[in-house]
Structure 1
């Protein structure tokens, strides 16, 4: 049995005759598998933490954030990537989602693309990756040719490489600066890594990106102070955030949000009676960290 088969591809005998089991028993087994997938992340917390610290440093220095993967892992990577702009205001030109097969792979299987190493390196070369950039590579086995080629190439260009995989001996780990091993174990449906492996990947990606964005100053008191406000619901949420942080009334919060062109951090400082000029300067001096700007203005 190969090292890969020892992990996500292994068929566990505990699921023998699964298709003959009562429906509730199958669901209980799937539920237990999902719980194990989530619990395995606890052991990876130190590496997730170290990865987020390293990512935040590169991004502070002007780097871009690349997410790369194939199949189910690629879908999860892209989902995490595209949510960074609306949730944390992360600039669209500073994030690059890449999946084997391109946009077509989002709606249809593109199995052959994940075996093509050149597609990955060509995509990274097209974006002219450099030593400031960060690559987050996600692959359950850690041996997908597309993802492995991307990791190798990115490392050769001096990029910070974060590898997330569900096999202890993932080849992508050999070329990564930080390796996040998610020991989700055998799948109930052998090889169906959208299940336990995917659940662990999704949760780990949530944790990694959330901590990274927190380190970059996009979270204050557990509030999304950098979110993009582009509809009425989010405008109300933005005003509520300003109220919660400053203790001001609803009308003042709304007025400050409008005066700040829907920039929540700036609106918070305006609600605290600082001038727009002083508030903007404080935020700039503190790289957008609201708490630090508030301390400076005191």
Structure 2
């Protein structure tokens, strides 16, 4: 029996716990998710290093999963655009059962090996792409089908699993094992197994974006100001990075479509936005290098 499916022995009377104790047990068990990701950190770092040259050359991130794992992949993919201006077309998420499965479980979809391969080929997977395959069991047929199709074209495959010696991790170019063990509620991998996947995917994609010059210091300087909250964030980040007041920051941001990087360089170098853009382009989007030039 998979460890993630094995009934936990330390909470066999869970249904009789007082509510306060029940909540504490559920919260405390989540800490094991953090420990599992920390143990896998070297593998995540290796995945970032391997993915970097492919995405620098124009490759896409393609997430593949079923159920909770698939939904977490969708979540990570859609957040890259507003956070880092990562193009929608370069963050693709495949979920067993299709878009409807984001909201309603599609029975049997995860068991279809052929469909996983077909769905991946349908998005024209290429050798320059990075395919992230997520499965708590590590043996989900839909995910394995996609993995094998990705490897057939030479794409970089990164497999995330919550069981040791799982096929998804073993067959991928880089396997990341998140050994979260048994769940408080037996087999419910939406608990700490899912939490570990969220942390691991978040860590991978964020580290990758940092390496792609989407961050200056620890400031989110390549965001898309798509709503009022993000417009205010852009203004505050620009003011903080340059030392100007928010009115001055807004004035320059309005000239460059609220692109924080451009505004920071223009204000810091006391130049126009076109010159700031040119400096950033010459520095491959690296704000620190553009300021030094």
TM-score, normalised via structure 1 length: 0.94
DSSP 3-state at the match of 2:47: helix
Cα distance in structure 2, aligned partners of 1:54 and 1:262: 32
> Following TM superposition, by how much is the alpha carbon of 1:250 offset from its aligned partner in structure 2, in angstroms?
1.7
Q: Secondary structure of the equivalent of 2:108?
A: helix
Q: Report the counterpart of residue 281 of structure 1 in structure 2.
A: 278
Offset at residue 174 of structure 1 (A):
2.1
Alignment partner of 1:64 out of 60, 63, 66: 60
Partner of 1:101: 97
Deviation per residue, 1:253-290 (Å, 9 max, x gap): 11110111111111111112123333222212222221
Preserved CA contact (<8 Å) 1:56 1:213: no
Report if aligned partners of 1:85, 1:228 keep a CA contact under 8 Å in 2.
yes
1:257 aligns with 2:235: no
Say yes or no: does 1:245 pair with 2:241.
yes
Number of equivalences: 292
Distance 1:254 1:39 in 2: 42
* Deviation, structure 1 residue 231: 2.1
- Out of 154, 160, 181, the residue aligned to residue 158 of structure 1 is 154
Contact 2:121/2:149, CA 8 A, preserved across alignment: no
The alignment yields a C-alpha RMSD, in angstroms, of 1.3
Cα deviation digits, residues 191-221 of structure 1 (max 9, x gap): 1000010111111111111111111111112
**1:56–1:215 CA contact under 8 A, matched in 2:** yes
Cα displacement string for residues 5-34 of structure 1 (whole angstroms, at most 9, x for unaligned residues): 241011122222322233333222212211
Question: What is the CA-CA distance between 1:291 and the residue it aligns to?
Answer: 1.6
Moved more, 16-25 or 122-131: 16-25
- For 1:53-202, list aligned pairs within 5 A: 53-202=49-198
Q: What is the aligned partner in structure 2 of residue 52 from structure 1?
A: 48
Q: 1:163-207: CA deviations, max 9, x gaps?
A: 111001110112212111111110011110000101111111111
Between the aligned partners of 1:276 and 1:257, the Cα distance in structure 2 is: 9
Shift of 1:64: 0.6
> Quick check: 255-264 or 229-238, which moved more?
229-238
Unaligned runs of 5+ in 2: none
Give, in angstroms, the shift of residue 68 of structure 1. Answer: 0.8
Matched, 1:207 2:208: no
Q: Which runs of 5+ in 1 are unaligned?
A: none
The answer to whether the 8 Å contact 2:125/2:150 transfers is yes
Deviates further, 171-180 or 157-166 = 171-180
1:228 to 215, 224, 229: 224
Normalising by structure 2, we get a TM-score of 0.96
Give the whole-Å Cα distance in 2 for the aligned partners of 1:162 and 1:245: 35
Query: Distance between the aligned counterparts of 1:96 and 1:141, measured in 2?
Result: 22
CA distance in 2, matches of 1:222, 1:111: 43
Match of 1:16 in 2: 12
